[in-house]
């Protein structure tokens, strides 16, 4: 029996910690909003969880830490960098989808003020984008392009251990949605039934040019007592 192909890339995706606008379901998009106290605690928790993996497992050490340059992601990534000792780099391709005129508004306000655009948004129309915003298909292409570039830049597993190149990327809910769809083989029109939780651990693996979902929406680190982190 042939052995399954070992992944050459393991990608840990982390959505930023909670912001005040997340808590009240207000669209952020490209607007710069920092973490609220809950988000800061979440960032510390995911940082410590990843630091444990980085330090305790010789075959599981991370090689690279990348983040969206938006402040909510950058603050989360800074906590991870401090806890792991990894150098932090920023990539604007990991930014959230641009929501144009929707930004700064709550969901009920959007439905009331732009009912036709609201309907196309909820129907996941790939060709639609909010006025002055980014289309869903364009956003998907941006995320897919980032995944392809990261795969190309990440090299091969270690010649001795056969371990994959391990990357942490701190980003946003929309980016996680597109990445999950790529790995799970879901179309843009498929209803979103997967969660994109603040400060959760999500892991994708790439083997033989095929992505797969390994872990998704893991929040065990957010419910552990502080002394266990």
**Domain residue limits, the chain:** 9-228
pLDDT digits (tens, 9 = 90+) for 58-98: 666 899 999 999 999 999 999 999 999 999 999 999 999 99
Q: Report the predicted TM-score, pTM, of the whole model to 2 decimal places.
A: 0.92
> Alpha-carbon torsion 36, 40, 42, 46, what sign?
positive
Residue 3, C-beta contacts closer than 8 angstroms, at least 6 positions apart: none
| Annotation says 82 is catalytic | no
Percent of the chain with pLDDT over 70: 90
Residue 115, C-beta contacts closer than 8 angstroms, at least 6 positions apart: none
pLDDT at 4: 56
Percent of the chain with pLDDT over 90: 84
Q: Please give the full DSSP string across 23-81, using - where no structure is assigned.
A: HTTB--TTS---B-HHHHHHHHHHHHHHHHHHHH-GGG---EEEE-SSHHHHHHHHHHH
Residue 95, C-beta contacts closer than 8 angstroms, at least 6 positions apart: 30, 68, 69, 70, 171, 172, 175
pLDDT at 145: 98
pLDDT digits (tens, 9 = 90+) for 8-66: 899 999 999 999 999 999 999 999 999 999 999 999 999 999 999 888 766 668 999 99
| Annotation says 96 is catalytic | yes
pLDDT at 2: 41
Average confidence score pLDDT of the chain: 92
Contact 38, 219 (CB under 8 A): no
pLDDT at 7: 84
Given 10, 18, 54, 96, which residue is catalytic? 96
Reduced to 3 states, what is the DSSP secondary structure of residue 119? helix
- Top CATH class of 9-228 equals alpha beta
pLDDT at 223: 85
């Amino acid at each position: 029996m042939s052995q399954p192909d070992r992944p050459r890339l393991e990608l840990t995706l982390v959505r930023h910690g909670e912001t005040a606008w997340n808590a009240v379901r207000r669209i952020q998009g490209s607007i710069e909003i920092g973490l609220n106290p809950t988000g800061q605690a979440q960032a510390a928790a995911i940082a410590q969880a990843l630091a444990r993996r980085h330090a305790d497992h010789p075959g599981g050490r991370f090689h690279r830490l990348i983040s969206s340059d938006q402040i909510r992601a950058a603050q989360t990534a800074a906590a991870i960098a401090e806890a792991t000792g990894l150098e932090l780099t920023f990539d604007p391709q990991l930014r959230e989808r641009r929501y144009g005129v929707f930004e700064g508004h709550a969901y009920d306000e959007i439905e009331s003020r732009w009912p036709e655009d609201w309907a196309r948004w909820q129907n996941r129309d790939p060709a639609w984008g909010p006025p002055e915003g980014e289309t869903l298909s364009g956003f998907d292409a941006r995320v897919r392009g980032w995944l392809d570039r990261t795969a190309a830049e990440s090299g091969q597993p270690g010649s001795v251990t056969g371990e994959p190149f391990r990357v942490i990327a701190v980003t946003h809910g929309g980016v996680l949605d597109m990445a999950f769809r790529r790995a799970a083989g879901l179309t843009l029109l498929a209803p979103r039934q997967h969660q994109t939780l603040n400060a959760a651990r999500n892991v994708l693996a790439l083997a033989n040019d095929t992505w797969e979902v390994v872990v998704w929406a893991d929040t065990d680190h957010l419910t552990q007592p502080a002394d266990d982190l």
